[in-house]
Amino acid sequence: MTNSLVQPLFDGPLDIVGDIHGEIGPLRSLMQHLGYDDQGAHPAGRRLVFVGDLTDRGPDSPAVVRLVQRLTESGRAQCVLGNHDLNILLDHRKHDNGWFFGETFTADDQVVPQVLADQTTRRQILDFFRTLPLALERHDLRVVHACWPDEMIHLARNANDTVALYHEFHQRIEDALPARKLDPIDQELEHQNQNPVKHVTSGPEERTEKPIELAGKKRHEKRVHWWEHYHDVFCVFGHYSILEGNPRGGETTFCVDYGVGKRWTERRTGKTSHFRLKLAAFRWPEKTIVFDEGA
Ligand SMILES: [Mn+2]
């Protein structure tokens, strides 16, 4: 772990793939439609970049991680860490990452079919996630999972260990809280916005006037649409699923998360093709989109 958490992005033409969330089938099919072989080689020398959130929800998170790991280790792809990947790395159990801990995922009392991780798989995944940068950059393009805030990126650039950086800032924020007399909501926001690992992987948040309900829980924080005020080197990110209705592209930003992470809900209604929620790749420099079903 001697590499900076902000690394140089590949030169040349790229295909930047959105949040996969365990959807191994759509990933294989997207790679084919983009013209890659199983080894991740492309006849035109294009290369793959993944925006993170490889895991959770979909049927086979271990297979997705294995494939992306194989591609990155052979120098054919790059990948940044997403917030779901981070939770696993930090050993934070969430409602939809039970597969990693060997537990089945149920929704409305029905089991969602998923491959569960065994001990060996867990170790492999942790070892791989530990190697992933938080951000990738070159003169004309930036890639992060959720957000590119200059001051946080600067902190990440001077660090080489995501887990250590996370804990360092977690502790620093905790230590400063008592003197500041913040209410619990503002304390949460401090941890979200002032920890570079949290900010880059899950984006800035702000206080809501009225509580909003998200996944059955009342929340007093909402996501800030940072891309509306970003005017810098073109930045490609994921995280903000199309289900949230956020705009996909701006002058200098593009969000490539087309929501495939919720495809398991579509499957439960009996759908087997022509899904509404897709896995997508944003092609650079063409600025075109290719979907997993080929469109
Ligand atoms: Mn995410």
pLDDT digits (tens, 9 = 90+) for 47-57: 999 999 999 99
Domain ranges of the chain: 6-165+226-291
CA of 112 to the centre of ligand 1 (A): 20
**Joined tokens for residue 177:** 């809280």
- At residue 128, the pLDDT reads 98
pLDDT digits (tens, 9 = 90+) for 58-92: 999 999 999 999 999 999 999 999 999 999 999 99
Rounded to whole angstroms, how far apart are CA atoms 183 and 26? Answer: 44
CA of 234 to the centre of ligand 1 (A): 19
Instruction: Look at 9-13, 24-28, 101-105 and tell me which has the smallest mean pLDDT.
Output: 101-105
CA of 178 to the centre of ligand 1 (A): 30
Number of Cα atoms under 13 Å in the Cβ half of residue 158: 6
CA of 135 to the centre of ligand 1 (A): 14
pLDDT bucket at 207, cuts 50 / 70 / 90:
very high
pLDDT surpassing 50 at residue 190: yes
The structure's pTM equals: 0.95
CA of 52 to the centre of ligand 1 (A): 7
pLDDT surpassing 70 at residue 1: no
CA of 268 to the centre of ligand 1 (A): 22
Report DSSP letters for 115-166, one per residue.
PPP-HHHHHHHHHHHTT--SEEEETTEEEESS---HHHHHHHHT-S-HHHHH
- At residue 2, the pLDDT reads 63
CA of 83 to the centre of ligand 1 (A): 5
Contact call for residues 272 and 263 (beta carbons, < 8 A)? no
CA of 138 to the centre of ligand 1 (A): 22
Residues with CB in 5 Å of ion ligand 1:
53, 82-83, 239
Mean pLDDT of 182-199: 95
Radius of gyration of the chain (CA): 18
Rounded to whole angstroms, how far apart are CA atoms 229 and 243? Answer: 21
Rounded to whole angstroms, how far apart are CA atoms 53 and 134? Answer: 12
CA of 260 to the centre of ligand 1 (A): 12
CA of 250 to the centre of ligand 1 (A): 19
Cα distances from 53 to residues 28, 201, 280, in angstroms, run: 16, 9, 13
CA of 146 to the centre of ligand 1 (A): 7
Between 180 and 16, the more confident residue is 16
* HEC readout, 51-62: CCCCCCCCCCHH
End-to-end alpha-carbon separation of the chain, Å?
39
pLDDT surpassing 80 at residue 291: yes
Q: What is the DSSP letter of 9?
A: P
CA of 79 to the centre of ligand 1 (A): 13
Mean pLDDT of 234-244: 92
Q: What are phi and psi of 85, to 5 degrees?
A: -65, -40
CA of 29 to the centre of ligand 1 (A): 22
CA-based nearest residue to 235, from 147, 160, 175? 147
- Class assignment of domain 6-165+226-291? alpha beta
Dihedral of CA 113/265/89/235: which sign? positive
Rounded to whole angstroms, how far apart are CA atoms 53 and 257? Answer: 10
